[in-house]
Amino acid sequence: MAIETAASVRVRFDVRKRRDLDWIPSMPTIRSADQVATLGISAGSYLDAGAAARQALDGLIDHLVLERGLTAEQAYVLSSVAADLQLSALVNAPNALVSAVLPLEVFE
């Protein structure tokens, strides 16, 4: 079941030059004032939410290591206790979309 509605949205994008990036994510990374989210998609595995979740968590761990300076082990532990996995889409067969969302308040 899905709910669709008309809406207006105001979005601001910051474009960063490739040479200014420490890393380039393999999937979209979404940052807001209070959280960071990475996405995983089950391309090649029919509606495999587990594969999408692994990809989303790998992206979050990469973000924490390369943007926040954590070790891979620290990023893995932090993700395991503070990140939320959200099933974002199952309607576009054959792909499942999963988001790994980390609230930035964990760094305060």
- Please report the pLDDT score of residue 91 as a whole number: 74
pLDDT of residue 95: 84
Q: Per residue in 41-53, pLDDT tens?
A: 988 778 889 999 9
Q: Report whether pLDDT(38) > 70.
A: yes
Residue 33 CB-half CA count within 13 A: 1
Cα dihedral 47, 49, 55, 59 sign: positive
Whole-structure pTM value: 0.78
- Other residues' Cβ atoms within 10 Å of the Cβ of residue 38: 28
**CA distances (Å), origin 62, targets 8, 56, 69, 96, 100:** 33, 10, 10, 21, 12
Residue closest to 100 by CA, chosen among 38, 26, 47: 38
Per-residue pLDDT at 2: 61
Domains of the chain: 26-107 (3.10.28.20)
* Residue 85 half-sphere exposure toward CB, CA atoms < 13 A: 20
In the predicted model, what is the mean pLDDT of the chain? Answer: 87
Average pLDDT for 84-103: 88
